[in-house]
Structure 1
C-alpha cells in the first residue's frame, strides 16, 4: 500500500509473485499475505501474476498453488510440470477480462503479435498432452496430497540435527536451512549436496538452504532413503 501511494497505481502494471517462493529457499507466505496482495491489486487496478512453475501441476496437492491457497490471480505462468520437464515448454493462462482486453483491443489480424520460432513445437505439445493424461489417469495431485503427511514428518525429523536452524514445507516441497560456516556462506550446504550425490541422492541447494522437490510418484521407501541419506550428510558436516 505504501509503494502504491509513493509511486502511484498508474505506474504499476502488475505484481508478480510465486505462491510459494522456491528458488529463494522455499519461503511459504504468512497467513493472509496472498489474500491481502489480491485485495490491494484489485483495489488499485493492478494485475496479479502468479509464477506457478514450481507450485503448479500437483506439487502442493492441487492442480495449481492458487487453488489450494485460495487466491485467484489475473495471469498465471507455468512450465516444467507441463511436460514433466522432458521437453522445454511454457504457457500462460489469463482470466477472461485480460483475454478480452487483448483480443478486443487488437487491430485486425493477429490478436497477440508475439511468438518464437519454436512456439507450439509438436514434440513439446505431444509431451504436454501425454503428461496431462497421466495427471488425470493417476490423479497425481491427489497422490501428492495423500503422501504429504509422511513427507512432512520426514522433513521435520531433521529439526534437531546439527546446524539446522529452520525448516519450511508445504505440499511436496521442503526447505532445510543450515547455519553457514563463518566467512564461507553456502559451503556447508554444498558439502551436504556432494555427500548426498556420492550416495546416489540428488538434492538442490541455494545458499545454505537445502531445497527439496521430489517426483510426484515418490513412495515411502524413497522418502526413507532420501531423508536417511540427507541426515547422514548433515551430521557429517557438523563441524
Structure 2
C-alpha cells in the first residue's frame, strides 16, 4: 500500500555543504560517469574539472577497479577488523606503505579523510602518553586549515564556517597563521617565494604554552578546501625542524595532495619533508569506495608495541576499518596509477596546466591565481551580493558541461590525472568566459 506524502522526492535527502533550498529549485544531478566525463540527468556530458571531489585521480569507472570491486563483493563482502584480518587488508597496507617516504611504514585504515584526521590526533596524544609525556595534550592546527568534519578535525581546522555552529570545540587547541600573502605572493607559480618565516609562529606558540604541553602540529602541505594555498618555499622544512627540536609530532594532512595530485606520490615526497604521521583518503581508492588511512612512522608505531603482547595496543577503530571491498579498490587503484604512470603524467602536465591557469590573469576581478601540480585556485574580488562570483561561475559552468569547485570567492580546478591538454584548455576557457560574464 502506498503511503501518501506531502514531500517531493528531493525533500528526503539533506545534502552536505549545500544550500539545500536553493538546490531544490534548480537541482544539479549526475547519473553516470566514464573517464573524464559525467553525464547529467538531461543526457549531457559534463567534463570533470575537479576529480569528483579531489578524489577520482585516475578518472571514472576504470575497468581494473570496477572488476576488483565486483569480484570482492561476491567473494568476501565483509570481514571484521577487530582481532581478525584478511589478505586484502595486509596487501593494501603494504602497497600504501611502500609508496610513503622515509620511515612511514605502518598503515591504520579508516573510512574517510575526516576519520583519518581524528585518528591521527588520537594516535599523537596516545604516543606522547606512552612515551611518558602525558602532559602533552595540546594540538596545533592552522588558520584556514581543513582536516575533515569530526570534532577533532574542526577543532584543529581553521575555517570559521565549519566551526561556528558547533560550540567550543576541543580544549587546548591553538592555531598557526595561514600562509596566504597576496601583497607579496599574488600570481605565484607553484610554491610562493615568500613566507617561510610564518612557520616561526610555532616557536611563539611553544613559548606561550611550553613545549611540554604540545603533542602535535597538523597542517596540509597545500591547503586545498580553503581555496588552494601552496606552502611557501622553505616553510614545511622550518615546521619539521621546530617540531623535531621540541619533541612535537608533525602530521601532514595529505587527503587531497596524496596519490599524484602534485605530481608525486605525496607532497612529503615532492618537498622532501617526512612527517611523523600522514593522513590520506580520496585518491587511495580513486573515490570508488570510501577509505582513509593513517601512515605512521616506525617511531610512533613502536611506542605502541610495548607491554604484554596480549594487550590491545590501540583502543581505537571502526566497524568498516580495512573493509575488503575498499582494500580491493585501493590495490586496483594503485595498480592503475603505476601501470599508466599517472603521477609522472601529472608532473609532466603541470607546466601546461600552470600556463593555462595563469592565462586568466588580467581578467575582471581576478585578484590572484595559485597553482601546484594539477591544482589551481582563481580568487575573485568579493562583492555585495547574495551569491559570490565563484558560485555563479560554478553554477553556469555545470550547465555548460564543465564541473568545477568553488569556495567563497575562489574557483578551484583539480581534474583527474588522465586529463588531456584539450580538456585543460576547455576548462580554463570556460572559466575565463564566465569570469567576464559575471564581472
TM-score (norm: length of structure 1): 0.96
Q: Pick closer, same or farther for the CA change 1:105–1:56 going to 2, 3 Å.
A: farther
CA contact (8 A) 1:185 1:208 kept: no
Q: For residues 145 and 31 of structure 1, what CA distance do their matches in structure 2 show? A: 18
Distance (whole Å) between structure 2 residues aligned to residue 233 and residue 26 of structure 1: 20
3-state SS in 2 of match to 1:222: helix
Q: How many angstroms does 1:102 deviate by?
A: 1.4
Cα distance in 2 between the residues matched to 1:34 and 1:120: 31
Residue of 218, 225, 235 corresponding to 2:419? 218
Distance apart, 1:23 and its partner CA: 0.7
Q: How does 1:154-193 map to 2 (within 5 A)?
A: 154-182=356-384, 184=385, 187-193=388-394
Q: Secondary structure at the match of 1:205?
A: strand
Aligned residue for 2:37?
none
Q: Which residue of 2 aligns with 1:81?
A: 283
1:54 corresponds to: 256
Superposed displacement of residue 109, structure 1: 3.2
1:112-131 equivalences in 2 (<5 Å): 112-131=314-333
SS in 2 for 1:195: helix
Give distance in 1, aligned partners of 2:258 and 2:308: 30
**Displacement of 1:111 after TM fit?**
2.5
The residue number in structure 2 matching 1:28 is: 230
2:125 match: none
| 1:37 corresponds to which of 239, 245, 253 | 239
Deviation string, structure 1 residues 86-105 (Cα, Å, up to 9, x no partner): 11000111111001001225
- For the 8 Å contact 1:66–1:73, the answer to whether it is kept is yes
C-alpha distance in 1, partners of 2:307/2:358? Answer: 51
- Larger deviation: 53-62 or 100-109? 100-109
Q: 2:271 maps to which residue?
A: 69
Correspondence 1:228-239 to 2 at 5 A: 228-238=429-439
Q: Which runs of 5+ in 2 are unaligned?
A: 1-202
CA distance in structure 1 between the aligned counterparts of 2:386 and 2:281, rounded to whole angstroms = 31
Cα 1:230–1:106 shift into 2, 3 Å: farther
Counterpart of 2:294 in 1: which secondary structure? strand
Match of 2:123 in 1: none
Written as runs of structure 1 = structure 2, the 5 A alignment for 1:143-158 is 143-158=345-360
- Segments of 5+ residues of structure 1 without an aligned counterpart are none
1:200 paired with 2:401, answer yes
Whether contact under 8 Å (1:180, 1:186) holds in the other structure is: no
Alignment size in residue pairs: 237
Distance, in Å, in 2 between the alignment partners of 1:153 and 1:185 is 32
* Residues 8-19 of structure 1 mapped to structure 2, 5 A cutoff: 8-19=210-221
Whole-angstrom distance in 2 between the partners of 1:101 and 1:94? 11
| Residue 92 of structure 1 pairs with residue 323 of structure 2 | no
Q: What CA deviation, in whole Å up to 9, does each residue of 1:185-227 have, x standing for no partner? A: 7511111111111111010011001111110110011101111
- Residues 6-36 of structure 1, C-alpha deviations (whole Å, 9 max, x = no match): 1011111100000000011101111111111
Structure 1 window deviating more from structure 2 (105-114 vs 187-196): it is: 105-114
Cα distance in 2, alignment partners of residues 151 and 5 from structure 1: 42
Provide the C-alpha distance between the structure 1 equivalents of 2:308 and 2:425, rounded to a whole number of angstroms.
55
Alignment partner of 2:344: what SS? helix
Runs of 4+ in 1 over 6 A off after TM superposition: none
1:114 aligned counterpart, secondary structure: coil
Higher relative contact order (CA 8 A, sep 6+): 2
Contact preservation (8 Å) 1:176, 1:209:
yes
Larger radius of gyration: 2
Distance, in Å, in 2 between the alignment partners of 1:140 and 1:186 is 37
Matched, 1:209 2:413: no
- Calculate the aligned-residue CA RMSD, in Å: 1.2
